[in-house]
Amino acid sequence: MNSDQAARLRDWADDYVAGTLDPAERAALERELLTNAEARRFFLSYLELHAGLAWQFRGADCELPGLSEANLKTNESITGVLDFARNPHVRNSGESHYREANLGEAQPTPVSRSRRWRWSLSSAAAVLAVAAAVWLWLHGVSREPGADSGPVFAVVRETLPGRWADGREVRVSESVGKGCWSLQSGLVSLEGMDGVELLVEGPAIGQWLDAQHLRLMSGTVVVRMPKGKSGFVVETARMRVTDLGTEFGVSVSPSGDERVQVYGGRVRTEAAASGEAQELKAGSALLCSPKGELAPAAFVEDRFIRRMPLRQGKPRN
Amino acid sequence: MTTEPPDDRFITLLLANQSRVYRFLFTLVPRREDVEDLFQQTCLTLWQERAKFDPEKGEFASWACAIAQNHVRNFRRREATRLALLSEEVAELLVTTRGAGGRFSEECHRALQHCLNRLPPHHMALVEQSYREGALKSTAAAAGRSANALYKSLRRIRAILHDCMVRVLAEGNIS
């Protein structure tokens, strides 16, 4: 595909996204997509760009319409919440959280259609939100990291551009305390107790259990201990990784694969199911399948982001 | 180490995969309002049908995207006369090209993050305002510019980001 073809295809893609593609252009686009695999990938990558931006900046997806933090504090309320999650039509949850996104000159949505959906979808959103909230609450969540008055386990050193799942931007110097956090996007550098450095790549969900103990439910984190320090633990659903003075990365993929890769020093890994323990040294990697089976994996240097990238010509880390 | 009850595991999977489902919907439906509607319908179905998910039979993302695609098929039938969607044949081909495992999508996602990190702050601010605020007109009014001028800027920045993504994808060093 030459540059003219690429430019034309991108114009069509942009008009398609904006809703301004005319029928003749749409027919031409369809012909191109049906016959040219390279054009399909190019077009798809543009849709991924648009989708990625929409996701990145869409804000909270676990809002709790009509449900405050306060009524998550008692078992009685939890029962009610669970009942509501099972039967969303018992009460209405308020307005849908979707936002108008009139990028370009998209055709207006008929009001009746939008309103028809608004009621049922607000319940749908609430079901997921409630389910997620209950789950987070049961796991000791602090919906805003560091918002409670408990001990601080880490402080944000840098963010590029990180965003929590509740839509807030991650701020430098923000403290992160005990409980769950969900990083929707971006790259965040945290400094924990004893000088441990963690680089978290969004999307990621984790939970601080104590100052030396992080549970990673999904996503990617790289841990770097200062010289002379050790003992930091990253726990996943099927594995426990204990640093023995080192730098290592741990990832939990959406499909459930868990991976540890050691960049420096050593780590000890322990499988939850079998109790099998292994010590890994620098330059090695291990994969834990969704069934809990441990197996050596290829060490791929750039599998994890280990440093904040350069920005504006200045080193970030 | 954690031993998660089934619903816990399901919600973990749901939270971990929701951006994949959301992005998948954009493959088939261009308008953001429609994607938001379909995303929420899909989430509800996933939750209601959670007992039917069998991790032995395949990845959660594939199962979730298949459910999302069913919602899109219904949506196409309902809205066929109103919307300028691509033909079903093209849509199916795009889904196939994207790949059941969503590897291409994940590579694009990582490439986008890489490219966003290199975007000048004023471009980043405009993109964020446009997508966050949603309505381009209000963003333009706040910036003292016409909606048309702002849209042209946004389009130009998306082209810069897309060029960067295509280059990063071609280099193929996104793990």
Chain A positions touching B21 (Cβ under 8 A) are: none
Is the minimum CB–CB distance between A313 and chain B shorter than 8 Å? no
d(CA A171, CA A158): 8
- Minimal CA–CA distance to B131: which of B114, B116, B111? B116
Å between B142 CA and nearest CA of chain A? 16
Give the integer Cα–Cα distance in Å for B17 and B93.
Answer: 22
Q: Are A56 and A84 in contact (CB under 8 A)?
A: no
Nearest to A104 among B11, B118, B151 (CB): B151
Mean pLDDT of B51-76: 88
Tokens representing residue B161 in the block: 């980001």
What tokens does A289 get? 């399948």
Which pair of tokens denotes residue B149? 């001028």
Decide: residue A235, CB within 10 A, 0-12 exposed, 13-18 middle, 19+ buried. Answer: buried
pLDDT-based confidence at residue B139 (cuts at 50, 70, 90):
low
Q: Cβ contacts (< 8 Å) between A183 and chain B: which residues?
A: none
- B6, pLDDT greater than 80: no
How does pLDDT run along chain A (317 residues), one tens digit per residue?
Answer: 788 899 999 999 999 988 888 889 999 999 999 999 999 999 999 999 999 998 887 754 333 222 233 333 323 322 332 333 333 222 222 222 222 222 232 232 333 333 333 333 444 445 555 555 555 544 443 344 444 446 788 899 988 878 887 667 888 888 887 777 888 888 899 998 788 999 998 888 888 888 889 988 888 999 999 888 888 999 988 889 999 988 999 998 877 789 999 999 999 999 887 888 899 999 999 998 877 788 999 998 888 888 876 544 443 43
Using CB atoms within 10 Å of the CB of residue A227, give its burial: 0 to 12 exposed, 13 to 18 middle, 19+ buried.
exposed
Q: pLDDT at position B24, please?
A: 92
CB-based contacts of A159, cutoff 8 Å, min separation 6: A169, A170, A171, A172, A186, A187, A188, A189
Give the position of tokens 């006369």.
Answer: B81
- DSSP one-letter code for A297: E
**How far apart are alpha carbons A155 and B18 in whole angstroms?**
27
Rounded Cα distance, B105 and A184, in Å: 17
Number of residues assigned to chain B: 175
Comparing A309 with B40, which gets the higher pLDDT? B40
B12: closest CA of chain A, how far (Å): 7
CA neighbor of A157 nearest in space, from A301, A279, A54, A307: A307
Query: How large is the ipTM?
Result: 0.90
Query: Which residues are A248's β-sheet partners?
Result: A223, A262
Contacts of B17 in chain A (CB under 8 A): 254
Is B136's Cβ below 8 Å from some Cβ in A? yes
Question: Can you tell me the distance from the alpha carbon of A196 to that of A212, in angstroms, rounded to the nearest whole number?
Answer: 9
**pLDDT at position B70:** 94
Is the minimum CB–CB distance between B86 and chain A shorter than 8 Å?
Answer: yes
> Per-residue DSSP letters for A6-60?
HHHHHHHHHHHHHT---HHHHHHHHHHHHH-HHHHHHHHHHHHHHHHHHHHTS--
- Yes or no: say if B164 and B115 are a contact pair by the CB < 8 Å rule: yes
Across the interface, whether the CB atoms of B86 and A42 are under 8 A apart is answered no
pLDDT in tens, B85-95: 889 899 999 99
pLDDT for res B129:
79
- Tell me the whole-structure pTM to 2 decimals: 0.58
Q: DSSP assignment, residue A167? A: S
- More confidently predicted of B65 and A301: B65
> What are the chain B neighbours of A6 within 8 Å (beta carbons)?
166
| SS percent in chain B: helix, strand, coil, step 5 | 80, 0, 20
pLDDT category, B101, cuts 50, 70, 90? Answer: low
pLDDT value for B69? 93
